[in-house]
Amino acid sequence: MPADHLIRDILRSKDATGIIISHLPHIRWICGFTGSTGLLIARENEFDLLTNSIYETQAASEVCGAEVHIGSHPMSEFAKEEGLVDSEDRLVIQPEYLTVAELTAWESAVPGISIIPVENLLNKHVAVKSVEDIAGMRRAQAISDTVFKEILQQIQPGIRESELAARINYHHLMLGASTMAFETIVASGPNSALPHARPGERKLQPGEPLLLDFGCMVDGFASDMTRTVHLGEPSKKFIRAYGAVEMAQKRAISSASDGIEVSTVSQIAQDSLKEFGLNDFFIHSVGHGIGLEVHEWPRISSNSSATLRTDYTVTIEPGVYFPGEFGIRIEDTILINSNNCERLSTIGRDLLAI
């Protein structure tokens, strides 16, 4: 749905005069602005982007479909000075992305203004990727796939986790990524049992697992993948657990298609791990939406009410974690189609013993 039609529908459904869009990725989605400071006031027939002088030239070249206003903080005072808001306004806000201090500033700057919080305001619409969006995500994933293949050749005992993470980041940037999508995870041995481990000074050792979780940004879109490899011959416990995670991911991915509730996808992964007696060792959600941000709506969990739709992109990443021993996670980004889904990575998921 075009942004102007969407805004019009929201305004009418909430009996509102405007919308304050404060989440930068959503501002980019509507008008193309990629700066780090900005606010969009959307009305039925008017879009106004407020930013500061740092982004004057950038906004002039990027922004489409909105009038640019260059000013200073606080944005609420600036909006009032520009005549963009008044005390008669009923403005919808994104409560997840507006701080209490910012909300208070709006109410102080424009006495009498009515604020209407609406959660998940644009999430379902941003989740639907265009042809251009999907192309950007494919480019990002292709870079991450290439980096993984390169890094496999560099993994050896004695390398520090932090050094390997630096190499992963370097290769991404050299291949055209603008930045990493999140802090790269390189977790060896017992550190792999920490789902969000930070790479440190620990050196890789023979006979231990190595968990790698990384992604990059290309043309504003994210990649995200996780693979767990093993340095040397793995134990029977590791082999069995790896097979369980691989099966759980395969079943969850096979179930994902247009019209399927994300809670069903999550439950399929959990039930699969339960068959192996490992569900108690799975301690995070099955996945998440991904696109302009590495973590977008919807969250793939058993308590989510969301439904997958064609052209959503989400990750599927079951894992098991044995504190003090090891952890295993396998993650891929998938594109939802009408009858199935497509895995964007070309990297296999079989257990690799290096």
Contacts from 192-195 at CB under 8 Å and sequence distance 24+?
192/228, 192/321, 192/326, 192/327, 192/328, 193/321, 193/322, 193/323, 193/324, 193/325, 193/326, 193/327, 194/321, 194/327, 195/283, 195/284, 195/319, 195/321, 195/327, 195/329
350 lies in some domain: no
Q: Name the band, by pLDDT with cuts 50, 70 and 90, for residue 77.
A: very high
Q: Return the amino acid letter for 163.
A: E
Shared domain for 177 and 80, answered yes or no, is: no
Q: Name the band, by pLDDT with cuts 50, 70 and 90, for residue 236.
A: very high
pLDDT recorded at residue 143: 98
Shared domain for 234 and 118, answered yes or no, is: no
Question: In whole angstroms, what is the distance from residue 196 CA to residue 200 CA?
Answer: 12
pLDDT recorded at residue 146: 98
What percent of the chain stands above pLDDT 90?
97
Summary mean pLDDT of the chain:
97
Tokens matching residue 240 = 């069995």
353 lies in some domain: no
Shared domain for 73 and 137, answered yes or no, is: no
Lowest mean pLDDT among 67-76, 156-165, 187-196, 300-309: 67-76
End of a domain among 125, 145, 170?
125
Rounded average pLDDT over 26-53: 96
pLDDT recorded at residue 92: 98
Q: Which helix (H) or strand (E) holds 322?
A: strand 319-322
Question: In whole angstroms, what is the distance from residue 61 CA to residue 67 CA?
Answer: 12
Question: In whole angstroms, what is the distance from residue 303 CA to residue 1 CA?
Answer: 28
pLDDT recorded at residue 3: 85
Shared domain for 18 and 67, answered yes or no, is: yes
Rounded average pLDDT over 220-243: 98
pLDDT recorded at residue 166: 98
Sign of CA dihedral 291, 191, 167, 331: negative
177 lies in some domain: yes
The CATH number that applies at residue 100 is 3.40.350.10
The string of pLDDT tens digits covering residues 126-182 is: 999 999 999 999 999 999 999 999 999 999 999 999 999 999 999 999 999 999 999
Q: At what angle do helices 262-275 and 236-255 cross, to 10 degrees?
A: 150
Query: Is pLDDT at 1 greater than 80 in this prediction?
Result: no
Query: Is pLDDT at 4 greater than 90 in this prediction?
Result: no
Rounded average pLDDT over 246-266: 98
Query: Is pLDDT at 2 greater than 80 in this prediction?
Result: no
Strand partners, 40: 21, 49
Q: Is residue 74 reached through a cis peptide bond, with omega within 30 degrees of 0 on the bond before it?
A: yes
pLDDT recorded at residue 52: 95
Question: In whole angstroms, what is the distance from residue 275 CA to residue 88 CA?
Answer: 59
Q: Name the band, by pLDDT with cuts 50, 70 and 90, for residue 73.
A: confident
Count of structural domains, the chain: 2
Query: Is pLDDT at 48 greater than 90 in this prediction?
Result: yes
Instruction: Tell me the residue range of the domain where 107 lies.
Output: 3-125
The string of pLDDT tens digits covering residues 270-304 is: 999 999 999 999 999 999 999 999 999 999 999 99
**Residue written as tokens 């006979």?**
207
| Residue that wins the pLDDT comparison between 197 and 73 | 197
End of a domain among 125, 143, 161?
125
End of a domain among 93, 125, 157?
125
